[in-house]
Amino acid sequence: MISYILRRLAATVPVLFTVAVMVFLMLRLTPGDPAAIIAGDNATTQQILDIRTKLGLEEPILQQFFIWLGSILRGDLGESFFFRKTVFELISERIEPTLSLAFLTIVLAVVIAIPLGVLAAYRQGTWIDRVVMGFSVIGFSVPVFVIGYLLIYIFAIKLGWFPVQGYQRISGGVFPWFRSLVLPAFTLSVIYIALIARMTRTSVLEVLSEDYIRTARAKGQTEVKVLFQHALKNAAVPIVTVVGIGVALLIGGVVVTESVYSIPGLGRLTVDAVLARDFPVIQAIILAFSFVYVLINLIVDLSYTIFDPRIRY
């Protein structure tokens, strides 16, 4: 097992190197000049050129790449072109809101979707099944920002239960923190609830016709025990895979949700950095996201052994 984990971790190096090369090249090929943006609208051509020189953008691209790669290998993510802060500092400042949002979203999605999926499978063909699947279709189809604006209109503007926007740090109290995240987390979780509920229903349906379920029922087990102890556990592998993919997809959802709710997290930092062509920040965030993606896949693979002891690495 340990050698498997080490091999998988070693495999991340070429993946991350490829990502690094691609990101670096794509950014340099994208139109837009950070120096012109920094200099402002009234800047002269000379002022812009001075800033380009200062940022090292006048150096040959290959030289820029190796300087950056060297820094990354030394653990230095570089300094933002704009903020006069290191990229590490910026990411550290922004990671809490994003982790909080991702955590609550996944918790909400799992807590709501799995019982719904199990229920839909158990009541297959009934109105309950149809309602759950109908919700699932809506969850897939309606864009995140539409759900966001609807929730804001109802729960923040009309009812005033939650703030319209913004994020409260957890250091300011758990309740304000939670309150500021309810609407964004629910907005973001809708699509995952749809995805996980659907997958849970399908997987549970498959195992419900298995002999061991019949045996469990014959032994007099309650339906709750049959569903959640026997059926769900055996259906867990595909569900965990979907949850894992969901966590990875969350990165994209976080960008939109953080923008709608003005949450100063990594998603917003990414958008701001892309709009401003802040190359060091974009490069570092994409590398970080790639690493997280690879890591989540590894964790998901390892989790299979918990749900299905027959799986060995």
- Residues at the site binding another protein, with contacts judged by CB under 8 A: 31-33, 36-48, 50, 54, 82-85, 90, 93-94, 149, 152, 156-157, 159-167, 175-176, 179, 259-262, 264, 268-269, 271-272, 275-277
The label of the residue with tokens 């909080």 reads 100
Distance of alpha carbon 251 from alpha carbon 289, whole angstroms:
8
Q: Which is nearer to another protein, 33 or 210 (CB)?
A: 33
Q: Measured from the CB of residue 59, what is the shortest distance to another protein in angstroms?
A: 17
3-state secondary structure of 79: strand
Nearest to 200 by CA among 274, 120, 290: 120
Q: Which is nearer to another protein, 82 or 307 (CB)?
A: 82
Q: Measured from the CB of residue 29, what is the shortest distance to another protein in angstroms?
A: 12
Q: Which is nearer to another protein, 47 or 303 (CB)?
A: 47
Q: Measured from the CB of residue 184, what is the shortest distance to another protein in angstroms?
A: 12
Task: Give yes or no for a contact between 250 and 242, defined as CB atoms under 8 angstroms apart.
Answer: no
Q: Which is nearer to another protein, 63 or 262 (CB)?
A: 262
Q: Which is nearer to another protein, 85 or 123 (CB)?
A: 85
The label of the residue with tokens 């349906």 reads 205
Distance of alpha carbon 203 from alpha carbon 289, whole angstroms:
29
DSSP 172: G
Q: Measured from the CB of residue 58, what is the shortest distance to another protein in angstroms?
A: 14
3-state secondary structure of 59: coil
Nearest to 23 by CA among 88, 68, 53, 54: 68
Q: Measured from the CB of residue 124, what is the shortest distance to another protein in angstroms?
A: 24
Q: Measured from the CB of residue 279, what is the shortest distance to another protein in angstroms?
A: 13
Tokens representing 256? 């939109």
Which residues have a Cβ under 8 Å from the Cβ of 152 and sit 6 or more positions away?
164, 165, 183, 260, 261
Q: Measured from the CB of residue 194, what is the shortest distance to another protein in angstroms?
A: 24
The label of the residue with tokens 């059926």 reads 231
Q: Which is nearer to another protein, 56 or 166 (CB)?
A: 166
Distance of alpha carbon 13 from alpha carbon 48, whole angstroms:
37
The pair phi, psi for residue 43, each rounded to 5°, is -75, 150
Distance of alpha carbon 258 from alpha carbon 127, whole angstroms:
35
Distance of alpha carbon 242 from alpha carbon 249, whole angstroms:
10
What residues does 79 pair with on adjacent strands?
86
Q: Which is nearer to another protein, 192 or 261 (CB)?
A: 261
Distance of alpha carbon 86 from alpha carbon 287, whole angstroms:
16
Q: Which is nearer to another protein, 24 or 208 (CB)?
A: 24
Q: Measured from the CB of residue 163, what is the shortest distance to another protein in angstroms?
A: 6
